[in-house]
Chain A
Amino acid sequence: MGNPISSLEQLRKQQRTKKRLTENINLMVFLLPTFVFVVVFIAFPVVYSGFLSFTKFKFGIDSAPKFIFLKGYIERFTSDSLFMESLKNQLVFASLYFTITFTLSLILAILINELTFGVQTFQVIFYMPMIIPLSLVGITFAWLLSPINGFVNIIIRNLTHNVRFMFDWYQEPKTALIGIVIARSWKMVGFTLIIFVAGLKGIPKSLREAARVDGATFWQEIWKIIIPNLKPYMLISSIWILINSLKVFDLVRVITEGGPGVRTYMLYYYSWKLAFERMDLGQASQVAYITAGIILIFTVVLNQIFKPETAERG
């Protein structure tokens, strides 16, 4: 017979190890679904398209991917005019989209915040496009702006008494891209509006009342109190708009198919075209990776711009 105290301790130790074991098994069970989905549908695709981007691989023509290292990337920037056009269009699109969405939702949020009644109704109206699929937004705007029966052209025709006015907004090089920006912003404004409204609600009423008692005008209130307090929310909505500015594939595909000419080719659309029409998986993956790189750079830059204020708020 051993020492009773030490055997008791042993028993406890055994129990503790057993408990720890079940706890560890439980932990694995809890993490399993996440692990499976992330590895199979996120990590593997990222690695695999990374691999493809270093190769020359035309599906159905090349029997296997041929490793060419960075040559594909260099080609995209030096001898691929369609890529450069897509990149340029994407940047123009993103800056217009950013400006319109950001300003419009900020102004609307500030105005709605001052209302004493009807707030809910207005919010519902502006949030509504969020639940309408982007492709259907595309059909809607293409219909509104269509050359003969489109609402916009009928109005212009009636106002100018010019019966022959049949401007094809989405097929004219000058207006096609801005037309897509407007359709995209129409859908997005509600999203950022929610963020700004939430931010405005967080500003203490006493702060503004004090300013008002001191004789501040509404403009001064906006610049001195509202805008500085909204900075962290501006960062969040900026990042949201930025990441979203890539997601115009639906609109391009539904409204213009990249046209007129190549005027509305953008990064997603070009990568998709390369992969699923030309079957060039190597080139398509290079475009996809360059897109990810650009987004990464912009996110870091935005974080830097808004950093001091966000840190202050903890």
Chain B
Amino acid sequence: MKAVSLEYGKLSRIFFIIILIFALIYIFPVFWVLITSIRPDSDIHKFPPTIIPKALTLHNYIYVFTGMEGFSRYFLNSVVVTTFTVVIVLVAAAMGGYAFGMRKFKGNNLLFMLILSILTIPYIMYLIPIYIMEYKMRLTDTYLGLILPYVALNLPWGLLIMRGAFSTIPLDIRDAAVVDGCNEYRMVYQILLPIVKPAFVTTTIITFVFAWQEFMFASTINKQNYWQTLPVGIVWIRDELQTLAMGKVSAAIILSIVPVLVLFFAFRKFFIEGLSEGMLKG
């Protein structure tokens, strides 16, 4: 046994160094954006360019908050769209997940398979009809115009996760509650929902990650600054300022990902477990 554990230690050290190198390369792009964001523009764009900053400044961050058109609005829009998308997906997926997971009805499996098959459809198939539909219903450049398709795209995932969670609950629990004269809605809300809490976390994370990053629908459906979300808004800022303002654009990038990074660090256990559970069910 001693020889076995020795081998572990030696290899482990080599592995550690290899991963460390990978990790440093991996994190470098973010680090570089961070460095760029605290350099004055004159330092970033001088010639010949240098890697090590000559001076550091918070000017870019101040500019993002005070002088930059739109950034705070983009941020607000992203928060609103993401929050509502997550909440609606949770409610709809919990209801549907209960029906598919615990209620017997004709065509249950067939219907569910049909919904699962949605998962392999490329999003580009929806884009044109949804745009035409929203254009005619005057939903472009509104919050709903993004929230509704985002919900639809995430609902199949939510259903998959929720159905999985509900189907592990013994049917006796439900029957007992029904015999006690408990109304079905109350039974689901008060007795079953607490049991499937982990599934809520998973669904929240998957939906959040999607809605916070979505670009194609947002850039196609929204044309006005006022309604745009961060992933598109920052690109617009870059296009407007051109490349000579990388400091300001970098500050905007850092400001847009830091809050999410904080959430990610705070909930990383849920995040990683939730994601691996959610993905493995797919």
Chain A positions within 8 Å of B, measured between CB atoms, are 22-23, 26-27, 29-34, 37-38, 40-42, 44-46, 48-49, 52, 108, 111-112, 114-116, 118, 120, 122-141, 143-144, 146, 148-149, 151, 154-155, 157-158, 163, 186, 189, 191, 194-195, 197-198, 209, 212-213, 218, 233, 236, 239-240, 243, 246-247, 249-250, 253-254, 267-268, 271-272, 275-276, 281, 284-285, 287-289, 291-292, 295-296, 299
Contacts and interface: CB of A to CB of B under 8 A. Distances in A.
Contacts of B11: 114, 218
Contacts of A209: 4
Q: Among the interface residues B122, B234, B280, which one has the most CB atoms of the partner chain A within 10 A?
A: B122
Interface in B234-254: 234-235, 238, 243, 246, 249-250, 253
Contacts of B56: none
Interface of B: 4, 7-8, 11-12, 15-16, 18-19, 22-23, 26-27, 29-30, 32-33, 36, 44-45, 47-51, 91-93, 95-96, 98-99, 103, 105, 115, 118, 120-133, 148-149, 151-153, 155-156, 159, 184-185, 209, 212-213, 215-216, 219-220, 230-232, 234-235, 238, 243, 246, 249-250, 253, 256-257, 260-261, 264-265, 268, 271-272, 275-276, 279-280, 282
Q: Which of A32, A52, A132 has the most B CB atoms < 10 Å from its CB?
A: A132
A111 B15 contact: yes
B127 A144 contact: no
A191 B216 CA distance: 21
Given A128-B264, A191-B279, A134 B213 contact: yes
21 contacts: A22-B184, A32-B95, A34-B99, A37-B155, A41-B126, A41-B152, A44-B129, A48-B129, A49-B128, A49-B129, A149-B246, A197-B276, A239-B282, A240-B279, A250-B231, A253-B219, A268-B122, A268-B123, A275-B128, A292-B125, A299-B120
B99 A30 contact: yes
A133 B282 contact: no
B234 to A, nearest CB: 6
B32 A26 contact: no
Given A144-B29, A212-B7, A250-B231, 14 more contacts: A38-B152, A42-B118, A46-B121, A108-B19, A112-B19, A126-B23, A127-B268, A127-B272, A140-B253, A191-B275, A254-B235, A271-B127, A272-B127, A291-B125
A125 B279 contact: no
Contact of A148 (B47, B152, B184): B47
Given A131-B260, A144-B29, A236-B282, A108 B22 contact: yes
B215 A250 contact: yes
Contact of B4 (A27, A136, A212): A212
Contacts of B213: 131-135
A74 B215 CA distance: 31
B48 A157 contact: yes
Contacts of A122: 19, 23
A249 B105 contact: no
Given A136-B257, A186-B29, A114 B209 contact: no
Given A139-B253, A291-B124, A292-B125, A33 B215 contact: no
A135 B231 contact: yes
Contacts of B219: 253
Contact of B152 (A40, A253, A254): A40
Summarize B's interface: helix, strand, loop or mixed.
helix
Contacts of A32: 95
Contact of A118 (B16, B148, B184, B261): B16
A249 to B, nearest CB: 5
B231 A134 contact: yes
Contact of B125 (A33, A46, A136, A236): A46
B220 A128 contact: no
Given A124-B268, A144-B32, A236-B282, A37 B92 contact: yes
Given A127-B272, A149-B45, A133 B231 contact: yes
A123 to B, nearest CB: 7
Contact of B30 (A37, A128, A281): A128
Contact of A27 (B103, B127, B216): B103
B118 to A, nearest CB: 6
A96 B105 CA distance: 46
A198 B32 contact: no
Nearest to B99: A30
Contact of B280 (A41, A42, A49, A198): A198
Contact of B212 (A128, A131, A276): A131
A135 B272 contact: no
A38 B129 contact: no
Contact of B92 (A34, A40, A148, A198): A34
Given A209-B4, A268-B216, A26 B282 contact: no
A212 B8 CA distance: 10
- For the complex of A and B, 4 pairs with smallest distance between CB atoms: A41-B152, A45-B129, A33-B92, A34-B96
Contacts of A213: 4
B103 to A, nearest CB: 6
Contacts of B4: 209, 212-213
A264 B61 CA distance: 34
A136 B276 contact: no
